């Protein structure tokens, strides 16, 4: 049986990864310090082959027995989080990645780094290919996340080149789905919670900036395909269907039937104006592309948020 270690296992994507790997017959060890993770995300895994360890991965990671793969997902990932937690964000990207890589090296395991489209910054190339080096402000407010992930990629690549570690890098584009937090700060949960409670829907900037939204099950499928592949170069995983922030807000208004009105606020510093993955590498090397359409994905997510708000 394959034993998989997932850092950040109680987070949004980490919990879905844990569940998907259990469904594939793996044994999963989930590690999280619960800084932004939530035990409710993994409570349903308690009676399965899932071991949870509360631990800060910026400290040495000890796991008994063999390990097939280490998936490093620990990090604040929402602008609200990394603006409030700049030092922990930098530490988990640097020290946490170093400790997770050390575990993979000690166990002879393969390693998968959760990187992000934010390594491209406010891009001057569109859509973004993996060969693009990015346009990032290292001293801007978003730099703590962007540069933490860029450093994590550099360290992961160094372990691959110097130690021969079988390391993979997934650059994740905007992803949404159940288990996102109500007040996560990202577009889909923010708009859904506002629409469902009748609050104004807050758009930053003109709303004409673009994003590409991928449903979480599609993302997880791509991550697992990458884990099982012999690919070591970075791979974009995301939905190439580009749309404006205003379009996604109006789609959520329509689905909820909400009477909320849209209001506009100033655009935060260094907020990317466009975001769209070129997924040629994922298509050709992994045979992957997204399958869940926007309306279907939003409907599933809306069901989750409606239930969560009723329980709140």
Q: Which two structure tokens, joined as six digits, stand for 75? A: 């990090």
Closest residue by Cα to residue 3 from 29, 31, 23, 30? 29
Query: How many CA atoms lie within 13 Å of 211's alpha carbon, on the beta-carbon side?
Result: 21
Q: Which two structure tokens, joined as six digits, stand for 247? A: 């379009």
Per the CB < 8 A criterion, the answer to whether 126 and 136 are in contact is no
Place of tokens 């395991």: 109
Catalytic site residues? 145
Instruction: Give the whole-angstrom CA distance, residue 266 versus residue 286.
Output: 40
């Amino acid at each position: 049986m394959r034993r998989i270690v997932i850092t950040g296992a109680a987070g949004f994507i980490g919990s879905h990864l844990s569940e998907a790997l259990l469904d594939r017959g793996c044994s999963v060890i989930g590690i999280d310090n619960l800084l932004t993770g939530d035990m409710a995300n993994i409570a349903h895994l308690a009676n399965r082959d899932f071991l949870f360890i509360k631990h800060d991965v910026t400290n040495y990671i000890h796991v008994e027995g063999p390990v097939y793969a280490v998936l490093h997902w620990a990090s604040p990932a929402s602008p609200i989080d990394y603006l409030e937690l700049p030092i922990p964000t930098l530490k988990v990207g640097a020290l946490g990645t170093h400790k997770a890589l050390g575990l993979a090296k000690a166990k002879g395991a393969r390693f998968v780094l959760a990187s992000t489209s934010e390594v491209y910054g406010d891009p001057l190339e569109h859509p973004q290919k993996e060969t693009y080096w990015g346009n990032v402000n290292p001293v801007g407010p978003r730099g703590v996340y962007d540069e933490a992930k860029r450093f994590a990629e550099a360290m992961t690549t160094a372990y691959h080149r110097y130690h021969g570690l079988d390391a993979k890098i997934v650059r994740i584009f905007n992803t949404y789905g159940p288990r996102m937090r109500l007040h996560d700060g990202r577009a889909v949960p923010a708009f859904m919670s506002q629409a469902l409670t009748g609050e104004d829907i807050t758009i930053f900037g003109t709303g004409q900036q673009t994003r590409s939204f991928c449903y979480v099950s599609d993302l997880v499928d791509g991550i697992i395909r990458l884990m099982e592949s012999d690919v070591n170069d970075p791979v974009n995983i995301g939905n190439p269907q580009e749309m404006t922030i205003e379009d996604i807000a109006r789609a959520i208004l329509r689905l909820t039937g909400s009477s909320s009105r849209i209001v506009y606020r100033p655009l935060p510093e260094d907020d990317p104006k466009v975001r769209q993955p070129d997924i040629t590498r994922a298509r050709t090397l992994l045979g992957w592309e997204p399958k869940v359409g926007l309306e279907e994905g939003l409907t599933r997510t809306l069901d989750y948020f409606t239930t969560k708000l009723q329980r709140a």
